[in-house]
Copies of this chain bind each other. A is one copy, B any other.
Amino acid sequence: MVTRDAARDSDAAGLERAAVLGTGLIGGSVAAALRVLGVTVTGWDLDPTRAARAVEVGAIDSAASTVADAVVDAEVIFVAVPVGVTAEVVTTALAAAPHAVVTDVGSVKSGVVAAVEAVHGADRFVGGHPMAGSEQDGVDGARADLFQGATWVLTPTERTAAETFTRVRSLVAAFGAEVIALTPHDHDRFVATVSHVPQLAASTLMDTALSIATQHETLLRLAAGGFRDMTRIAAGNPAIWPDILTANRDAIVGALDGYLASLSEVRRMVADGDRAGLLTMLQRARHGRRALPVGAAKVDELCEFHVLVPDRPGVLAEITTLAGRQAVNIYDVELAHSLEGERGVMVLVVAAGAAADEFERGLRTLGYAVTRGTFE
């Protein structure tokens, strides 16, 4: 009998040394979470004073002065530098540590993943994005439990080796995060909608109010709780945004166009006095907001699928992104290679229930032979 926690402990226990490149809030928190699991962590940062500070606050065991020095003994490498330099640091790390698995934490994925896949060793890389904090805030706020209950996206592709995904997935799960696998393209489209456009909408709302408030300071005295809630993210550090807005330009422009079109339709309804139309939209939004998932889902029962798969990396991406699109959380994944080397069995553990049934149908639609095992 294998319990989830025991599985997590053993996954983490197999790891002795890791490297974290970029020791800000996210890198520092990853390092701290690794150290809680008993892993020795070497850190490096573009700015050596930040790496030194990470040692001081106890986030990393030691600081190295080059990427090569930091990764020399590492089995797993987390890259937590700003989006604009992530691809470069990842490829340097892959070359300097030819046996290590590498992942990153950047908030935009398509560009980084495409750049990395052009180089040798890309099967040892999987893109990642924990939905918590920012990679440019300081290490002083770092904590080992930052990812507890957070969603952590991984973006395996056809080039990603199953072992790479499994290793990173099990570590991230050991941090307490819920893992979802998505294609880099879907990830970027989704974060444009739930993160990048909301940031722009909030800042623009605040900025529009200011342009009136220049003449009438009173206006801001009238700003009650709703306005404060809506503009809270406008108070964050703007320095991270030019990189993100550049890296995810196409998805953001697409999502902004959708938002502008919807808002123009709302403007039309207000101007026309279309009370029924407005009420319908507001009720739909209310229903959606109330249904927004809060924290990690409670799972009472798990079920296990055994999937007969051809032994090639693309299969992993196909199956994990099917799960991601269906919002099925994969609690464990293991690829058992067959001795003949042509076929294998992929073991997937997911929450039991309607979603699992749909997932099973999806697997069959993709042409896989599936059997349902028991998990206890």
**Chain A residues packing against B (C-beta within 8 Å):** 131-132, 150-151, 153, 178, 180, 182, 186, 189-191, 193-195, 197-213, 216-239, 241-242, 245-246, 249, 252-253, 255-260, 262-264, 266-267, 270-271, 273, 275, 278-279, 281-286, 288-293, 324-327
Partner of A230 from B229, B236, B275 at Cβ < 8 Å? B229
Residues A264 and B270 in contact, CB atoms below 8 Å apart: no
A191 to B253, CA, bound (A): 29
Q: List chain B residues, Cβ under 8 A from A324.
A: 218
Residues A283 and B238 in contact, CB atoms below 8 Å apart: yes
> How many copies are assembled?
2
Residues A216 and B325 in contact, CB atoms below 8 Å apart: yes
Partner of A207 from B219, B249, B285, B326 at Cβ < 8 Å? B285
Q: List chain B residues, Cβ under 8 A from A236.
A: 286
Q: Which 7 A-B pairs have the closest CB atoms?
A: A238-B282, A203-B285, A242-B275, A217-B327, A226-B233, A206-B285, A235-B289
Residues B263 and A200 in contact, CB atoms below 8 Å apart: yes
- A82 vs chain B, min Cβ distance (A): 13
Residues B279 and A241 in contact, CB atoms below 8 Å apart: yes
Residues B206 and A289 in contact, CB atoms below 8 Å apart: yes
Q: Nearest CB to that of A267 among chain B residues?
A: B256
Q: Nearest CB to that of A264 among chain B residues?
A: B260
Residues B222 and A194 in contact, CB atoms below 8 Å apart: yes
- A13 vs chain B, min Cβ distance (A): 29
Q: List chain B residues, Cβ under 8 A from A285.
A: 202-204, 206-207, 210, 231, 234
A263 to B199, CA, bound (A): 11
A234-B131 contact in complex given A190-B219, A226-B198, C-beta closer than 8 Å: no
Which of A206, A228, A271, A273 has the most CB atoms of chain B within a 10 A radius of its CB?
Answer: A206
Q: List chain B residues, Cβ under 8 A from A279.
A: 238-239, 241-242
A60 to B204, CA, bound (A): 43
* A-B contact list, 6 entries, CB within 8 Å: A198-B231, A202-B285, A203-B286, A210-B284, A235-B289, A245-B270
Residues B195 and A222 in contact, CB atoms below 8 Å apart: yes
Residues A219 and B193 in contact, CB atoms below 8 Å apart: yes
A226 to B231, CA, bound (A): 9
A151-B222 contact in complex given A256-B267, A263-B260, C-beta closer than 8 Å: yes
